[in-house]
Amino acid sequence: MNSRRKFLQQVTLASAGLPLLGTGIFSFTGKAHSSFRTDKVLRVALMGLGGYARHVAEAMNHCRSAKITGLISGTPEKLKSWSAAYNVPEKNCYNYQNFDSIKNNPDIDAVYVITPNALHHDNTIRVALAGKHVICEKPMAISVKEGREMIDACKKAGVHLLVGYRMHFEPTTLEVVRMRNEGELGAIRFFQGLCGFRIGNPTQWRLDRALAGGGSLMDIGIYAINGCRYMVGEEPVWVTAQETKTDPVKFKPGVDETLQFQFGFKSGAAASCLSSYNMNNLDRFFLNGEKGFAEMRPSTGYGPIKGRTHKGEIQAPVVVHQTVQMDEMAAIILDGKQPLIPVDGEEGLRDLKIIEAIYKAASTGKKIEL
C-alpha cells in the first residue's frame, strides 16, 4: 500500500486546475507535482497544423510549464486562424521555407514536429541547426538510418530530442509499470497488444508510402511495439511477423493493412501483437505474470485509459494526455527531470529498429534476431 501511495504522490498532473475526463474516478489527494516541477515556461512552436496538432494545442491551454509561442505551416490560412486562436504574434509565424530563421527568435525554445512521418528527419535536423530543442511525433523517422542522423544532429547542436510518447506519462500506464517493477505481478510471461482502427479517406498521407513510410505499423502499430517494451520491461531478442491484406487497391504495395507480430525475450517471456487499419475495437493491452495480470482497455486512446489487475480496478487520475506530456517535457528540457519511461531519441530509435525487423520478418517469413 505504501508503494502505491508513493507512486500516486509522484504522478504529475499538468496543473491544479487541469480538467479531468470522465466521471466516477477516485479523489486524488497526492502531491500535484514532483520536485522537478519547473517554475519556467517552455516556449513551443507547433510545426504542422493538422488534426493531431489541434489536440496538442487545445491541451496546452491547460499547461503550467509549456506555452505555444510560434507556428509553422505551409498554409497561410491556417497560420492566420491559429495565430488568432492561440494568441501567437505574426512575427512568430513561419512557413516551411523560412522557419530556419527561428534561430534568431528568443520567443521560441522548442519546436514540436507534427508533420507526416517522412518529413520528421529533415524538419528535426533543420530545427536543431537553428539551435532549438525538438519534440518529434512518433514514429521518430521512417528508418533507423534517419533516426540515427536525427539523434546525431541534435547532439551536435546541443539540443534535446524528445519523442511524443504521451503514454509514458499516463497515470494508469505508470501504475501497471510500478506494479511490475515492484514484483506484484511476478515474473512476466506474456504480453498481448492489439491496436487498430478502420482508416477512412484513401487519399490521406497515412496511406501514401512516400509520406508515411509504411502503413498501419507506422501509425497505430507503434503503440503495441512501444507498449510491449515498457510493459514487459525488456527489449525483445527476436521477432516474427505475418501480413494480411484484403484491399490491395486502398492499401498499395508498401502500405500494410494488417500485421501480426510476435516477440521473444531473453527471460522467456513472449508477446503477440496486432496492428491494423481495417479493424475497430482493438485498443487493448494484457500483461500476464506468475503472480497476477494487468489489463488496459482502452490502452492508448485519447480518452480515459481504464485498467484492472488481479487486485481489482486501477484507480488512477484521468488526465488529458497531451497536457501532462507537454508539462513533463518542459521539466525534462528546463529542469533535467528524468522520466520513469524514456522519451528521448534513443527510445525512438529502439522502436525503429523493431519496425524494420517486423517488416523484414513479414516479407521473408523468417525469424529475425534483434
Dump pLDDT digits (tens) for 312-369. 999 999 999 999 999 999 999 999 999 999 999 999 999 999 999 999 999 999 999 9
pTM: 0.91
**Nine cell digits for residue 187:** 515474473
What residues act catalytically?
A: 138, 223
Residue 291 has what DSSP assignment? S
Distances (CA, A) of 127 to 151, 152, 290: 12, 13, 47
Q: What's the CATH architecture for 187-289+344-369?
A: 2-Layer Sandwich (3.30)
Where are the CATH 3.30.360.10 domain residues in the chain?
A: 187-289+344-369
Whether the Cβ atoms of residue 319 and residue 13 lie closer than 8 Å to each other: yes
Which residues neighbour 63 within 8 Å (Cβ) at sequence distance 6 or greater? 14, 15, 323, 326, 327, 330
Which residues neighbour 298 within 8 Å (Cβ) at sequence distance 6 or greater? 283, 284, 304, 305, 306
Where are the CATH 3.40.50.720 domain residues in the chain?
A: 36-166
- In angstroms, rounded to a whole number, what is the distance separating the alpha carbons of residues 172 and 176? 6
CATH match of 36-166 with 3.40.50.720: yes
Say whether pLDDT at 5 is over 60: no
Terminal Cα-to-Cα distance of the chain (whole angstroms): 38
Q: Tell me the per-residue pLDDT of 229-270, one tens digit each, with 9 for 90 and over.
A: 999 999 999 999 999 999 999 999 999 999 999 999 999 999
Say whether pLDDT at 4 is over 80: no
